[in-house]
Structure 1
Amino acid sequence: MHADDSDATPASPRGLAALLGPAEVRSLAEEFGVRPTKQLGQNFVHDANTVRRIVAAAGVGRDDVVLEVGPGLGSLTLALLDVVDRVVAVEIDPRLAERLPTTVAARAPQLADRLDVVPMDAMKVSIADLPSQPTALVANLPYNVAVPVLLHLFAEIPSLRTALVMVQLEVADRLAAQPGSKVYGVPSVKARYFGDVRRAGSVGRSVFWPVPKVESGLVRIDRYENPPWPTDPGHRKTVFAAVDAAFAQRRKTLRAALSGWAGSPAEAERRLVAAAIEPSTRGERLDAAAFVRLATIGTEG
């Protein structure tokens, strides 16, 4: 992994956890009868140095409650427990959810009571499902659902202040893209609705088992301390509907692309002008603040 943010300060590890290597990962998978599935987007990290660097880039420490999604065999979980005082692991695979506490107890017995496992789909998790309120999300997200899971958790868990997630490199680029970029789109805008987004490093394929066909990237999101707009579900739904409409036909001007959303091309133009947006521009030129202005113009005026 080559960290983009060289000023990340590693947290001071307890050094109590025996981290997993390639042999241990394969042995545990065989013992548990686990065959990584493409359907669940499972690729297990087996490099101890990589998980330590992920934890360091996350910037978490003693006071953090970390939410981990898809802990798998426990590679990242063990590294997190070495640094933070509680990890809440959400695992959809019932076999892995059942076995994770056993792995932690065997490899870090002094830290075992700091782990909570929630056996459910992360896309259905709400704050009420969790035994404590997480302050940070640190996870190797399943590639096939990474963006929906990330946005869902920021929407449902207001206590999350930061996120450091590993996703497919292409997805990392999209999430962190700036307006005007060729890869700037729906994920870019929606992630920035919640906070500041930036790339935080790259991860090679060789640290995973099985080896994926794509490279991976790290993305960090810091939730706005003082949100520049309302954060209620109704407001978010209104803004996201405008974002979806603008990028559904991204080659079209906003006047044309938003005609269905607004009711007509003329109404789309009226709202764009009222939001101080040139109707002939395209969605890829607008930042999150512009989409918020546009979406909340409504039908008045």
Structure 2
Amino acid sequence: MNDTRGALLGPAEIRDLAGRLGVRPTKTLGQNFVHDGGTVRKIVRTSGVTAGERVVEIGPGLGSLTLGLLEVGARVVAVEIDPVLARQLPTTVAAHVPDLGDRLEVVGADALDVVELPGPPPTALVANLPYNVAVPVLLTFLERFDSLQRVLVMVQSEVADRLAAGPGSRTYGVPSVKAAWYASARRAGTVGRAVFWPVPNVDSALVALDRREPPVTTASREEVFTVIDAAFAQRRKMLRSALAGITGSSAAATVVLEAAGVDPQARGETLDVQDFARIAESLAMVGA
């Protein structure tokens, strides 16, 4: 493969490109563009993406990370909601790595609406996710694309903490448990604010997820997620009270929980995903 080092976007080029396109980063789309090549290569290196691997990138923006992925030989399908940016991306790639343009496919769409992707199924997701929709986008792609074996995403630091948190942690909640249905998650590094344009008001972090089999259960994912949502809707409530809304009463919830082997006085943040699966099974069996 040709040496393409030095082909990444720098601060001046990011601003120039945005100016020529008439693009003004918006909070609505969660746009903060990475302009530091070292950070881009750190993300790509941490992702473990290899030459020839099929990778999906969500929210490529002006193309900083896209170029980094192409640089190591990945085949990239990029999902971009902004039509101006989606049209520009192939041109940017052609200008910087002309020999690698055939490794890129662009899907102009809202990631939450994407139900299929062109070409072979991707095995990795690598992205600087728009912070305002990071969790729903991540969970949606894990649900819809079971070919994804590895994920590395840059998100707001506190979101990274939630995704990687374990039972008993103060940051453990709905994102933690739902992500655990699909994968094991861990923080994989921090990213300084100065590498973005515009500079965000929050710190950023990398989260790595490795696909694993969901809990063995007769309950469906939807049934388990309903229990998770109810358990954390009013975080400080005991489970017997928190689940009363989906069981009909606290007494019925107590029966369901005891049948699942879960203390009715426990709180949601003390349970792991397997515990929630047992509760969902019990709920179906008891018929509450």
Task: State the Cα distance separating 1:178 from its structure 2 match.
Answer: 1.0
1:272 matched residue in structure 2: 257
Instruction: For residues 234-286 of structure 1, give each alpha carbon's deviation from its aligned partner in whole angstroms, at most 9, with x where no partner exists.
Output: 81111110000000011000000001111211111111111111110100000
Q: 1:215 to 1:13 in 2, by over 3 A?
A: farther
**RMSD of aligned alpha carbons:** 1.7
TM-score by length of 2: 0.96
Task: State the Cα distance separating 1:130 from its structure 2 match.
Answer: 3.0
- Any residues of structure 2 matched to 1:78-157 within 5 Å, and which? 78-127=67-116, 129-157=117-145
Task: State the Cα distance separating 1:32 from its structure 2 match.
Answer: 1.0
Q: Please say if residues 217 and 281 of structure 2, whose CA atoms lie closer than 8 Å, have aligned partners that are also in contact.
A: no
Q: Does 1:44 align with 2:22?
A: no
Instruction: For residues 123-178 of structure 1, give each alpha carbon's deviation from its aligned partner in whole angstroms, at most 9, with x where no partner exists.
Output: 01112x43331110000000000000000000111111111000000100111111
Output the amino acid matched with 2:262: I
Q: 1:14 to 1:199 in 2, by over 3 A?
A: farther
1:193 matched residue in structure 2: 181
Structure 1 gaps of 5+ residues are: 1-11
Taking the aligned partners of 1:117 and 1:230, their CA distance within structure 2 comes to 38
Q: 1:184 to 1:14 in 2, by over 3 A?
A: farther
Taking the aligned partners of 1:26 and 1:230, their CA distance within structure 2 comes to 51
TM-score by length of 1: 0.92
Matched residue SS, 1:196: strand
Output the amino acid matched with 1:69: I
Q: Please say if residues 164 and 187 of structure 2, whose CA atoms lie closer than 8 Å, have aligned partners that are also in contact.
A: yes
Taking the aligned partners of 1:250 and 1:46, their CA distance within structure 2 comes to 39
2:199 matched residue in structure 1: 211
Matched residue SS, 1:60: coil
Matched residue SS, 1:297: helix
Taking the aligned partners of 2:261 and 2:235, their CA distance within structure 1 comes to 20
Taking the aligned partners of 2:272 and 2:282, their CA distance within structure 1 comes to 16
Instruction: For residues 5-62 of structure 1, give each alpha carbon's deviation from its aligned partner in whole angstroms, at most 9, with x where no partner exists.
Output: xxxxxxx995356001101101110111111011000000000000100011111102
Output the amino acid matched with 2:148: L
Q: Please say if residues 22 and 46 of structure 1, whose CA atoms lie closer than 8 Å, have aligned partners that are also in contact.
A: yes
Q: Please say if residues 70 and 103 of structure 2, whose CA atoms lie closer than 8 Å, have aligned partners that are also in contact.
A: yes
Match of 2:238 among 237, 250, 253: 253
2:146 matched residue in structure 1: 158
Q: Does 1:182 align with 2:170?
A: yes
2:223 matched residue in structure 1: 238
2:53 matched residue in structure 1: 64
Taking the aligned partners of 2:16 and 2:214, their CA distance within structure 1 comes to 46
Taking the aligned partners of 1:13 and 1:241, their CA distance within structure 2 comes to 50
2:276 matched residue in structure 1: 291
**What count of residue pairs does the alignment treat as equivalent?**
286
Matched residue SS, 1:137: strand
Output the amino acid matched with 2:271: L
Match of 1:229 among 203, 206, 216: 216
Match of 2:23 among 34, 39, 51: 34
Structure 2 gaps of 5+ residues are: none
1:5 matched residue in structure 2: none
Task: State the Cα distance separating 1:84 from its structure 2 match.
Answer: 3.4
Taking the aligned partners of 2:171 and 2:128, their CA distance within structure 1 comes to 22
Taking the aligned partners of 1:56 and 1:13, their CA distance within structure 2 comes to 18
Identity %: 60
Task: State the Cα distance separating 1:230 from its structure 2 match.
Answer: 5.9
Q: Please say if residues 17 and 108 of structure 1, whose CA atoms lie closer than 8 Å, have aligned partners that are also in contact.
A: no
